[in-house]
Structures are given as structure tokens and as C-alpha cells.
């Protein structure tokens, strides 16, 4: 029993450590956006070492144009630019102790997704107070993967909207037609219809009798 308990405890400890390490990635939300969308991107940075996180660098994907940053108390920021003068990266540096072990920070940016974008790959570099650096630039299966935002086609979204509008119009037309049919049915099956029908028949009979009498009188 003792061996089983020790083995179980060791397994659970390793499982928790592995899970914590695997989930403590630098990520950028949302996980999915749309072509041409104006989006607010949230960079979540967890500290997974005993040393505090004191600097975060984020390299912008080519298919997004970042325009603004939300200030964060305790942190300074500086944009980097490419040869064309466009914002290509940002570095946040802690004024104070930074993000301690067990803490995380969220840094927000605003920008526009390119009209022909397929996905946004966010490469980040996390620097700790002890001088160690973690580069979140790998592929999906890497220990330190870059965060990826999927980009949906804007034409597909427009197509769905048009289809929904068409279905709504068809339903409205069908409803109107059904309403008209119901009105006609109600009119034909109501008491007024039968009263009018009886009056019409009585009028025809009276006219027929009158014509016969006139014909006899003439002869």
C-alpha cells in the first residue's frame, strides 16, 4: 500500500507539473478573427519561474496593422518600426518588480486584420529578472510555441449573412402568402358568404318568375 501511495503521489505531482508547464504559454487572444476586422488583441503573459518577468517583446504578424496600445500601470512600452515606418513590434518593460511567480499580466493592442490574411502568428520573447530568456517562437508542437490566431474569410461570413437574409425574406413571403390564403379561406367559410349566396339565388329565382309572368302576359 505504501509503495502504491508513493507511486500515485509521484505520478500526480509529475502530472500537475507537466500540465502547469504546458498551459503556461504566452498567448494572444482572440483565437480566431475575420479578414478585414478591427480587433483588440490581448497578450497574456504568465510567469512560470521563481524569477519575475520584467520584459516582454511581441513581434507583429505581417497581416495585421497595429495602431494603438492600452497603457498598463507599472509598465512602459516602446514600438519598433520596419523599413516602411510601420509598427512591427512592441516591447513592454516593467517599472517595478514585474510579474512574480504565480502571476500573469495582460497587455492589450488594437489593430486591423488584412483583407487577405489566413492566420496571424505572434512571436514573443519573455525576459526574466535573472537574465534568462524564453523565446515563444516555435511551431505548434514545440515546447515554446508561438501563439496563432486563425483568420476566417470575410466573404464566407457575408455569404452566411446573405443566406440568412434570404431565408428570412422567404419566410416572411411565405408567412404573408399563408396569411392571405387564410384570409380568403376565412371569407369563403364565414356566415356572410352563405347569406350572400342565398340572396343571390333568391334574386335569380325572383327574376326568373318575373320574366315568365311577363312573357305570359304578352301572349
CATH code for the domain in which residue 50 is found? 2.60.40.2230
Place of cell 493592442: 109
Q: What is the pLDDT of residues 47-96, one digit of tens each?
A: 999 999 999 999 999 999 999 999 999 999 999 999 999 999 999 999 99
Q: Does position 173 have pLDDT exceeding 70, yes or no?
A: no
Q: Does position 174 have pLDDT exceeding 80, yes or no?
A: no
Pick the range with the lowest mean pLDDT from 23-32, 91-100, 192-201, 204-213: 192-201
Please tell me the distance from the alpha carbon of residue 75 to that of residue 71, in angstroms, as a whole number: 8
Q: Indicate whether 46 and 111 sit together in one domain.
A: yes
Mean pLDDT across the chain, nearest whole number?
Answer: 81
Q: Are 67 and 40 in contact (CB under 8 A)?
A: no
Q: Tell me the Ramachandran region of residue 40: left when phi exceeds 0, alpha when psi lies from -120 to 50, beta otherwise.
A: beta
In the prediction, which pLDDT does 85 show? 94
In the prediction, which pLDDT does 16 show? 40
Q: Which domain, by its residues, includes 79?
A: 22-152
Please tell me the distance from the alpha carbon of residue 133 to that of residue 158, in angstroms, as a whole number: 43
Kind and range of the H or E run holding 51: none
Q: Does position 130 have pLDDT exceeding 50, yes or no?
A: yes
Q: What is the pLDDT of residues 14-26, one digit of tens each?
A: 444 444 444 579 9
Q: Does some domain include residue 130?
A: yes
Please tell me the distance from the alpha carbon of residue 121 to that of residue 89, in angstroms, as a whole number: 13
% of the chain exceeding 70 in pLDDT: 68
Q: Are 47 and 163 in contact (CB under 8 A)?
A: no
Q: Indicate whether 106 and 166 sit together in one domain.
A: no
Q: Does position 197 have pLDDT exceeding 80, yes or no?
A: no
Start-to-end C-alpha separation, the chain:
130
Report the greatest alpha carbon distance in the chain: 132
In the prediction, which pLDDT does 84 show? 93
Last residue of a domain, one of 108, 129, 152: 152
In the prediction, which pLDDT does 210 show? 74
Q: Does position 2 have pLDDT exceeding 90, yes or no?
A: no
Q: Does position 145 have pLDDT exceeding 90, yes or no?
A: yes
Q: Indicate whether 90 and 65 sit together in one domain.
A: yes
Q: Does some domain include residue 88?
A: yes
Q: Indicate whether 128 and 34 sit together in one domain.
A: yes
Secondary structure in 3-state letters for 123-178: EEEEEECCCCEEEECECCCCCCECEEEEEECHHHHHHHHHHHHHHHHHHHHHHHHH
Amino acid at each position: 500500500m505504501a509503495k502504491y501511495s508513493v507511486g500515485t503521489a509521484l505520478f500526480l505531482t509529475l502530472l500537475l507539473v507537466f500540465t502547469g508547464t504546458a498551459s503556461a504559454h504566452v498567448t494572444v487572444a482572440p483565437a480566431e478573427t475575420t479578414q478585414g476586422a478591427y480587433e483588440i488583441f490581448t497578450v497574456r503573459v504568465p510567469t512560470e519561474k521563481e524569477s519575475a518577468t520584467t520584459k516582454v517583446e511581441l513581434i507583429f504578424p505581417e497581416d495585421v496593422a497595429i495602431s494603438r496600445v492600452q497603457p498598463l500601470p507599472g509598465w512602459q512600452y516602446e514600438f519598433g518600426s520596419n523599413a516602411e515606418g510601420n509598427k512591427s513590434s512592441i516591447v513592454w518593460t516593467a517599472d517595478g518588480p514585474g510579474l512574480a511567480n504565480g502571476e500573469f499580466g495582460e497587455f492589450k493592442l488594437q489593430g486591423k486584420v488584412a483583407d487577405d490574411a489566413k492566420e496571424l502568428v505572434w512571436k514573443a520573447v519573455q525576459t526574466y529578472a535573472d537574465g534568462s530568456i524564453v523565446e515563444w517562437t516555435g511551431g505548434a508542437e514545440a515546447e515554446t510555441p508561438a501563439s496563432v490566431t486563425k483568420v476566417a474569410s470575410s466573404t464566407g461570413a457575408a455569404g452566411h449573412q446573405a443566406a440568412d437574409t434570404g431565408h428570412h425574406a422567404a419566410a416572411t413571403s411565405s408567412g404573408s402568402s399563408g396569411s392571405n390564403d387564410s384570409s380568403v379561406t376565412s371569407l369563403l367559410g364565414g356566415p356572410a358568404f352563405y347569406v350572400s349566396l342565398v340572396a343571390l339565388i333568391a334574386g335569380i329565382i325572383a327574376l326568373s318568375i318575373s320574366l315568365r309572368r311577363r312573357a305570359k302576359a304578352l301572349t
